[in-house]
Chains A and B, each alone.
Chain A
Amino acid sequence: MSQSQTPLSTNFPASAPASGPNTLDIVNLRKVFGGRGKSGGVVAVNDVSFSIRRGEVLGLVGESGSGKSTIARLIARLHQPTSGEIRLNGEVVPHKLGGQGLRQLRRRVQMIFQDPYASLNPLHPVRYTLARPLKIHRLARGNTDPQVTALLERVGLTPALTYAAKRPFELSGGQRQRVGIARALAAQPELILADEPTSALDVSIRLDVMNLMLDLKDQEGLSMLFITHDLAGARYMSDRVAVLYAGTLVEIGPAVQVIDQPQHPYTQLLKSAAPKPDAGLTPDHIEARGEVPDLSTLPPGCPFEPRCPYAMPECKNGLPKLYDVGEEHQARCLLHDPAIKAQRAGAVAGYAL
């Protein structure tokens, strides 16, 4: 994955060489909403870079307004990126895409949406919803029923013929989300973007939907971007995890490592705030000032600085770079700067984790 790396991508996290190119590389992806010219506007995604290897699930974690859904929509070209590069299997996705190119991109990248009650057209039966991607991308000739049936069986909706005839209002939330997954699979994509696919579902069926996605990944080698606000869910689903705060990537690394030993103060805060069903009955007390900042008035330095218990004057001097903090594990925090580390020996242990 070295041949096409641009000199711009100093923030690009190292990836172990896998067989062939990564399914997805995004390099310094940026999205500014509103505002004309260079000034003004809301920076929703601030020069984010990461990659997803073949057959890998990358968990993208953040709170509302962190830009996690925007990234998925940029990759799927529901929004136009302001700048930056997206590569699919090593090929650069052109900044300008016409009808044909766009259609091709949309075959290769498919989305699963958060709310299964909103993401299926209430007027169309399941059969229509699943047959459309097959027809758009010319993956079926004539009768699409056999393929629709196969899709429904793959997502565990049997008897498939019964489900094919149903309309969304006849299905439960979990069943709808399975239809949503089947729709994403229909186009035989290389990459699936799952935007909080379980957060609108009831607790009792969340795990089954997650398990289905894990099975599909294992059996069919799908690559997936799994967006969530739930650290435990990200840990369950992902091989690696990336943490976003206010549009900026603050930490990335192997899932278990990032969540068990978070290295960025924000990830630590997120972890201490999460409900922990397994941890017993004594909740942690968390120290957190304020809320996620208004994206149109971000501080010049580290976006987390105003809320950070370790904030130092240096933090205001511009966005810190990503420091290596472990194998394949990086955190964007000055506490990991060797010079500062030397000054305040062993300081990253504030939160009870």
Chain B
Amino acid sequence: MNGLRILLRQPRSLVGAGILLVLLLMGLLAPVLTPYNPTSLEFSAYMPFSAQHPLGTTAIGQDIFSQLLYGARLTLLVGAVAGLIATLLSVALGLTAAYVGGWVDEAINALINVFLVLPGLPLVIIAAAFLRGGGVWPVILVISLTGWAWGARVLRAQAMALRERDFVQAAVASGEGPGRIIFMEILPNMTSLIAANFFGAALYAVLSEAGLSFIGVGDVSLVTWGTMLYWAQAKGALLQGAWWWVAMPGLGIALLGTSFALLNFAIDQLGNPRLGWGSVKSFRRTLPPAPAPNPNALLAVRDLDVGYVTPQGTVRAVRKVSLDVAPGEFVGLAGESGCGKSTLAFAATRLLNPPGEVLGGSVTLAGQDLLALAPEALRQVRWKEFSVVFQASMNVLNPVLKIREQVYDAMQAHGITDPAKLDARARELFSMVGIQTRYLDSYPHQLSGGMKQRVVIAIALALEPKLIVMDEPTTALDVVVQRQILQEIAEVRRRLKISIVFITHDLSLLVEMSDRVAIMYAGELVEQAPAHELYAHPAHPYTQQLMKAFPPMTGPRERRSGIPGRPPSLSETLPGCPFFERCAVRMPGICDVKPLETFRIAEAHTVACFLYDPAVSPATKELALSHAPNSVIAQPLVSQEVRLEPVPNPALH
């Protein structure tokens, strides 16, 4: 239902459905729209256009307009019925193959492959030639029997993927029988694919019927657009100059086919939204001027606002975030999924894809305004000044190119072209991150996940950039490999004095690795402090609870609690603190109404929490802290209160 609504909003499917509706009405309302019988021979031959005969008459005196209207009926019927039968066959065979598996699957798959490569139309022609004369049904049958394979292939693949999905496995594990598994779990999730497949098969059916009728196999005594073309050709309509006799039914077929194809295409996009993404907008800078960056910082992010522009409204994923990274500094950026940490990194490195958009603020790298750079200038800065390590190392390497080429091309793009130099550097990089140089000549699929991530880090180091942004570089890896790679990152960074922005949801890991840690929550940067300071004196209630949210590895086994509730939706505009709902020490009347402010509580420690607001009376704070179920949370807040001092726009150092 939901899909249907989305479908009806798309111009493509609307046009497709519109054409189909018009053609359908033509067929249904034929008796109303024309007084003539399509097969009666009551008029003279080749009459020109007139009010009486809008499209003239045929060589044997039939009204072409009425033939066109009545022809729509059978043409649509053939398309719909053959499409339906072919789709049913596809579903039955595809699902059986995927569900039963084993030799049944292999047999069906072989059959599919055979029918996929057998040229369909010649087969239909000879099959129909043997079965000719039986009206429209043999034609429908032959077309369905040759048109199911493409759909069966797609549906089989989809059903196999669904079968391995956890919810199907869960249904099996809870004792569901095969019938319910297929009809309640798998099949409903394939609806859009089946629908798309139906329109594809219907398109094939209409075109095949037209082709068959045109060469006279099939039943030419029936009126379809295909047989109209047959008679037009047989009677030499074109030689008589009666081009409309040919043009009209063909146009009908082409339009019907287009409407099927549009619907197929539009429904396909529902399941595979990537295909539908409209435009890749080029970056145009119309941002309000941002405050001047800190001249000492290597990377200065100022008041950065990033949003995802969707039809339902703008999702503000990053909200006025400011962050500095000093030369050689390791900054950890932590937060839960959906807090905006990756969006921040992508926006700051100009890698954000639509519908993501920078809505305000500035990003300065070594004095250069990154957001203002023209494409070619940006290309030159990339990798030379800063590089990026993505989360999904499994997928960032091009599967069809050798690793060597992918290490080289980063350097070649920035002016290093001497083969000897390239080779020497590649070897050097590989030994730096602990991979044998022989893997330079491998393809990505020959490497394990950990090795691929090392390759990516090696590539990131290729031009010795001043800054590397790492977005959860080790999350997908096992703990041991993760630890090995982290050690190498720490080692390389110390040696090369590179700045690193390290993004992860794993706070404990950041505390170990970073010089400074910044915590994000719901698009806001809620706290930043030197790692040891954050570890010893977390100031924000969220940070405090987050630090306690890990089961301990040592000490007595005791119950701990997580943070109740969930983060607010980013499409909302919140009047106050985004953590208010989940906060144990919230101050109603203040936190939920005042716009969020950031306060400096120590030399390099800022926190966005009103407990540190000097304007709030100590009595109010005491009251809030007394409600805290866990006194551990409350402790540091009180003791640090003496150092409070408001900092509306934090500029560190």
Give A204's nearest chain B residue, CB to CB. Answer: B563
Cβ of A291 < 8 Å from any Cβ of B? yes
Asked if residues A121 and B171 are in contact (CB atoms below 8 Å), the reply is: yes
Asked if residues A106 and B483 are in contact (CB atoms below 8 Å), the reply is: no
Cβ of B172 < 8 Å from any Cβ of A? yes
**Contact for B188 among A120, A123, A183, CB less than 8 A:** A123
Interface segment, one of B114-122, B202-210, B255-263, B500-508: B500-508
Cβ of B274 < 8 Å from any Cβ of A? no
Interface segment, one of A26-34, A146-154, A230-238, A295-303: A230-238
Cβ of A127 < 8 Å from any Cβ of B? no
Given A113-B166, A119-B170, A136-B176: A204 touches B511 (CB 8 Å cut-off): no
Interface residues of B in 159-176 (CB under 8 A from A): 165-176
Chain A nearest Cβ from B571, distance in angstroms = 15
Interface 1/0 per residue, A50-74 and B, CB below 8 Å: 0000000000000110000000000
Cβ of B559 < 8 Å from any Cβ of A? yes
Q: How far is the CA of A187 from the CA of B171 in the complex (A)?
A: 12
Q: How far is the CA of A97 from the CA of B87 in the complex (A)?
A: 35
Asked if residues A63 and B479 are in contact (CB atoms below 8 Å), the reply is: yes
Chain B nearest Cβ from A269, distance in angstroms = 6
Asked if residues B176 and A132 are in contact (CB atoms below 8 Å), the reply is: yes
Interface 1/0 per residue, B456-491 and A, CB below 8 Å: 000000000000000000000011111110110000
Q: How far is the CA of A214 from the CA of B551 in the complex (A)?
A: 13
Q: How far is the CA of A211 from the CA of B557 in the complex (A)?
A: 13
Given A207-B549, A232-B551, A235-B557: A275 touches B508 (CB 8 Å cut-off): yes
Q: How far is the CA of A214 from the CA of B507 in the complex (A)?
A: 24
Cβ of B295 < 8 Å from any Cβ of A? no
Given A204-B563, A269-B480: A78 touches B553 (CB 8 Å cut-off): no
Q: How far is the CA of A279 from the CA of B553 in the complex (A)?
A: 8
Given A111-B170, A119-B170, A236-B551: A203 touches B507 (CB 8 Å cut-off): yes
Chain A nearest Cβ from B110, distance in angstroms = 20
Give B561's nearest chain A residue, CB to CB. Answer: A207
**Contact for A277 among B175, B486, B547, B563, CB less than 8 A:** B547
Contacts of B487 in A (CB 8 A): 283, 285-286
Among A203, A229, A255, A291, the most chain B Cβ lie within 10 Å of the Cβ of A203
Give B506's nearest chain A residue, CB to CB. Answer: A275
Cβ of A341 < 8 Å from any Cβ of B? no
Asked if residues A278 and B554 are in contact (CB atoms below 8 Å), the reply is: yes
Asked if residues A206 and B185 are in contact (CB atoms below 8 Å), the reply is: no
Cβ of B189 < 8 Å from any Cβ of A? yes
Contacts of A115 in B (CB 8 A): 166
Asked if residues A274 and B546 are in contact (CB atoms below 8 Å), the reply is: no
- What's the count of A-B pairs with C-beta under 8 Å? 185
Contacts of B171 in A (CB 8 A): 121, 132
Q: How far is the CA of A259 from the CA of B166 in the complex (A)?
A: 31
Interface residues of B in 519-561 (CB under 8 A from A): 531-532, 535, 545-547, 549-555, 557, 559-561
Chain B nearest Cβ from A276, distance in angstroms = 5
Asked if residues A208 and B175 are in contact (CB atoms below 8 Å), the reply is: no
Interface 1/0 per residue, A263-296 and B, CB below 8 Å: 0000001111111111101110110100110000
Asked if residues B336 and A203 are in contact (CB atoms below 8 Å), the reply is: yes
Among A110, A210, A229, A275, the most chain B Cβ lie within 10 Å of the Cβ of A275
Q: How far is the CA of A109 from the CA of B566 in the complex (A)?
A: 31
Contacts of B175 in A (CB 8 A): 102-103, 106-107, 133, 136-137, 187
Asked if residues A207 and B560 are in contact (CB atoms below 8 Å), the reply is: yes
Cβ of B512 < 8 Å from any Cβ of A? yes
Q: How far is the CA of A233 from the CA of B552 in the complex (A)?
A: 8
Contacts of B173 in A (CB 8 A): 76, 78, 106, 109-111
Contacts of B167 in A (CB 8 A): 118-122
Contacts of A232 in B (CB 8 A): 550-553
Give A168's nearest chain B residue, CB to CB. Answer: B167
Cβ of A220 < 8 Å from any Cβ of B? no
Cβ of B562 < 8 Å from any Cβ of A? yes
Q: How far is the CA of A111 from the CA of B487 in the complex (A)?
A: 37
Chain A nearest Cβ from B452, distance in angstroms = 11
Contacts of B479 in A (CB 8 A): 63, 229-230, 270, 273-274
Asked if residues B554 and A279 are in contact (CB atoms below 8 Å), the reply is: yes
Cβ of A174 < 8 Å from any Cβ of B? yes
Chain A nearest Cβ from B454, distance in angstroms = 11
Q: How far is the CA of A91 from the CA of B176 in the complex (A)?
A: 23
Interface residues of B in 28-79 (CB under 8 A from A): none
Asked if residues A281 and B511 are in contact (CB atoms below 8 Å), the reply is: yes
Asked if residues B165 and A203 are in contact (CB atoms below 8 Å), the reply is: no
Chain B nearest Cβ from A32, distance in angstroms = 17
Interface 1/0 per residue, B105-136 and A, CB below 8 Å: 00000000000000000000000000000000
Cβ of A317 < 8 Å from any Cβ of B? no
Interface 1/0 per residue, A179-210 and B, CB below 8 Å: 01001001100000000000000111111111
Contacts of A158 in B (CB 8 A): none
- How many A residues face the partner with a CB closer than 8 A? 75
Contacts of A256 in B (CB 8 A): 557
Contacts of B166 in A (CB 8 A): 113-115, 118-119
Asked if residues A203 and B169 are in contact (CB atoms below 8 Å), the reply is: no
Give A285's nearest chain B residue, CB to CB. Answer: B487
Give A136's nearest chain B residue, CB to CB. Answer: B175
Chain A nearest Cβ from B521, distance in angstroms = 10
Give B334's nearest chain A residue, CB to CB. Answer: A203
Q: How far is the CA of A32 from the CA of B546 in the complex (A)?
A: 42
Among B184, B451, B509, B550, the most chain A Cβ lie within 10 Å of the Cβ of B550
Asked if residues B549 and A172 are in contact (CB atoms below 8 Å), the reply is: no
Cβ of A99 < 8 Å from any Cβ of B? yes
Interface 1/0 per residue, B382-405 and A, CB below 8 Å: 000000000000000000000000
Contacts of A123 in B (CB 8 A): 188-189
Q: How far is the CA of A203 from the CA of B166 in the complex (A)?
A: 22
**Contact for A260 among B337, B448, B511, B554, CB less than 8 A:** B554
Cβ of B289 < 8 Å from any Cβ of A? no
Given A273-B482, A278-B555: A204 touches B450 (CB 8 Å cut-off): no
Contacts of B180 in A (CB 8 A): 132
Cβ of B629 < 8 Å from any Cβ of A? no
Asked if residues B549 and A132 are in contact (CB atoms below 8 Å), the reply is: no
Given A110-B173, A172-B566, A208-B561: A286 touches B535 (CB 8 Å cut-off): no
Contacts of A211 in B (CB 8 A): 559, 561-562
Cβ of B564 < 8 Å from any Cβ of A? yes
Chain A nearest Cβ from B434, distance in angstroms = 10
Given A203-B505, A281-B511: A292 touches B478 (CB 8 Å cut-off): yes
Give B553's nearest chain A residue, CB to CB. Answer: A232
Chain B nearest Cβ from A337, distance in angstroms = 25
Cβ of B588 < 8 Å from any Cβ of A? no
**Contact for A113 among B169, B185, B450, B511, CB less than 8 A:** B169
Cβ of B177 < 8 Å from any Cβ of A? yes
Q: How far is the CA of A107 from the CA of B169 in the complex (A)?
A: 15
Chain B nearest Cβ from A66, distance in angstroms = 9
Which B residues fall within an 8 A CB radius of A? 165-177, 180, 184-185, 188-189, 336-337, 448, 450-451, 478-484, 486-487, 505-509, 511-513, 531-532, 535, 545-547, 549-555, 557, 559-564, 566
Q: A133-B175, A281-B535 are in contact. List 16 more A-B contacts (CB 8 A).
A: A63-B479, A106-B173, A111-B170, A123-B189, A175-B566, A186-B174, A202-B336, A204-B562, A229-B478, A230-B479, A231-B553, A232-B552, A277-B552, A279-B554, A283-B486, A288-B480
What are 13 A-B contacts with C-beta separation under 8 Å? Answer: A78-B173, A114-B166, A121-B171, A207-B550, A208-B562, A230-B551, A232-B550, A232-B551, A260-B554, A276-B508, A277-B552, A286-B480, A286-B483
* Nearest 9 pairs of A and B residues by beta carbon: A277-B508, A236-B551, A207-B562, A106-B175, A273-B483, A119-B166, A204-B563, A63-B478, A208-B562
Which A residues fall within an 8 A CB radius of B? 63-64, 76, 78, 99, 102-103, 106-107, 109-111, 113-115, 118-124, 132-133, 136-137, 172, 174-175, 180, 183, 186-187, 202-211, 214, 229-233, 235-237, 255-256, 259-260, 269-279, 281-283, 285-286, 288, 291-292
